[in-house]
């Protein structure tokens, strides 16, 4: 088998494994709630894939994550997501697909931009950017397309306060914390895999 064929096989195998991990993690964490929405641990394998294989792989893995989120919204596996789906199915799908895909894409862009300078810094930045993009697009989408739903959820609480401290605050901090804590592990995995693949 040629070196190019080995690299393609390795890439396909690794992306297949990361795809499976994302699906399992997202289904599992759908049932772990801090507030109305679940935490997102699937960003970790997305960052790993973006670091190992680049922007396209990051976007693909982010899209896989997004598809699972959409399925959980449609089926009611994620109750908060189901309410968003019920309010506007089309915009629910657009928002979910956009936030996950761009989270993976941006992780790849930032990792590649800093990789030659310092791999640890590149991974930490990618691990920070991914949840910021994911949560940021979610918040923007909710404010623009689902404001009535937000107002109903917030009750007497000001909407912005509710978004920061009720809707996404704890989830976002957990996602960022887990990503940043695991960043050194991600760097070691990427380096070890690249060395064995040479």
By residue range, what is the domain housing residue 149? 3-193
Helices then strands, each counted (H, E), the chain? 9, 0
Q: Kindly state whether residue 146 falls inside one of the protein's structural domains.
A: yes
Q: How confident is the model at residue 42 (pLDDT cuts 50, 70, 90)?
A: confident
Q: Kindly state whether residue 43 falls inside one of the protein's structural domains.
A: yes
> Over the Cα atoms of the chain, what is R_g?
17
CATH number for the domain harbouring residue 9? 1.10.1760.20
Q: Kindly state whether residue 117 falls inside one of the protein's structural domains.
A: yes
Torsion-angle region of 155 (φ positive above 0: left; ψ -120 to 50: alpha; else: beta): left
Q: What is the pLDDT of residues 131-173, one digit of tens each?
A: 999 999 998 999 999 988 888 888 888 888 888 777 777 777 8
Mean pLDDT score of the chain: 86
Total tally of structural domains belonging to the chain: 1
Per-residue CA distances from 85 to 69, 74, 77 (Å): 11, 6, 12
- What the block records as the tokens of 102 is 């761009």
Q: Kindly state whether residue 184 falls inside one of the protein's structural domains.
A: yes
Contact 96, 70 (CB under 8 A): yes
Q: What is the pLDDT of residues 69-104, one digit of tens each?
A: 999 999 998 888 898 999 999 999 999 999 999 999
Q: Kindly state whether residue 198 falls inside one of the protein's structural domains.
A: no
């Amino acid at each position: 088998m040629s070196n190019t064929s080995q690299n393609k096989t390795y890439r396909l195998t690794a992306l297949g494994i990361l795809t499976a991990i994302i699906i399992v993690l997202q289904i599992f964490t759908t049932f772990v709630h801090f507030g109305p929405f679940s935490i997102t641990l699937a960003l970790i394998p997305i960052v790993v894939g973006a670091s190992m294989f680049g922007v396209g792989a990051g976007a693909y893995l982010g899209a896989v994550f997004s598809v699972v989120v959409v399925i959980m919204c449609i089926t009611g596996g994620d109750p908060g997501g189901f309410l968003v789906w019920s309010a506007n199915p089309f915009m629910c799908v657009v928002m979910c697909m956009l936030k996950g895909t761009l989270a993976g894409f941006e992780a790849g862009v930032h990792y590649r931009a800093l990789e030659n300078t310092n791999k640890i810094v590149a991974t930490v930045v990618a691990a920070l950017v991914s949840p910021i993009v994911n949560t940021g697009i979610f918040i923007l989408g909710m404010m623009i397309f689902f404001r009535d739903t937000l107002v109903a959820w917030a009750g007497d609480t000001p909407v912005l306060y509710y978004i920061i401290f009720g809707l996404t605050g704890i989830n976002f901090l957990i996602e960022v914390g887990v990503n940043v804590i695991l960043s050194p592990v991600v760097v070691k995995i990427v380096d070890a895999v690249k060395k064995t693949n040479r």
